[in-house]
Amino acid sequence: MERLARLRIVKTGMNAGKFARFLLGLFAFLTLFSCTTRIGGPLNADGSAVMSVSVSLEPKMTALIQKLFTAGGVSLAGGGSAAGISILDGPAISASMSNAPGIASVLLKNTAPAAIEGPVRISKISDFLTYGAGGGFITFEQGRSGGRCKININRENGPEILPLLSPEIVDYLSAIMAPIATGEDLGKAEYLAIVSSVYNKAISDEISGSKIRASIDFPGVIYGIKGGTFTGKRAEFDIPLIDLLVLETPLIYEVEWKQ
């Protein structure tokens, strides 16, 4: 009950200006799950990578944004409507991501007001989103006979990684108590129940049903994988978003390859 009460305060205890800023940030968060997200590209033997990222917002999310703006009595700058704004801002997201450790460059462009795509160049995968005293969540090893890459995301490192990638949405993830932001001990069922109570069941259903799809080509022929499937040098991953947001159990993905 205490958690629910705190969430209701976040939702209702704001003036129009703060409510507008909250909605814009919340929409940035909602795009994580109310959309189609695809990541693909090669990982090179030196640990560098060029990933193609594509994110497209679902049409019903636009309708929800319009409804929330109307309910909050918020007018957009210039008298525009929520349907006309760029909910996903490619250049702004690029600027934020470009400051993250291990990132060489980001060039995301808008293909529509609610869709972005473009390349993300990683200088060294083991440095990607490192935190604290040089720590990270990715281990990359490459030798003469082959290599290994392991990803481990949990409630200890999740809240450390997230601000490096996108500081703008951390407050909004915290506001709806996503454990990846708060590190809180919250199960998936409890989390979805809270989201359903504060927002609606459609939103919690979208969270529980959404996945992030990744297709990565590794430097050699894959012979072992954990958390995905593979063919030749290519590994495929379907990551349930609810697992990533709640981290009830650590997310561990591992690929081994030979030259």
All residue ranges of the chain with pLDDT < 70 are 1-36, 57-88, 113, 133-134, 166-169, 171-172, 175-176
Q: How many domains does the chain have?
A: 1
Q: What is the pLDDT of residue 80?
A: 41
How many angstroms separate the CA atoms of 149 and 46, rounded?
Answer: 12
On whether the CB atoms of residues 39 and 119 are closer than 8 A, the answer is: no
**Residue pLDDT, tens place only, 78-119:** 344 444 555 667 888 888 888 889 999 999 998 876 778 999
- Residue 27 domain boundaries: 2-258
Enter the pTM of the model. Answer: 0.78
Specify the pLDDT at position 48. Answer: 95
The two structure tokens encoding residue 149 = 């890459």
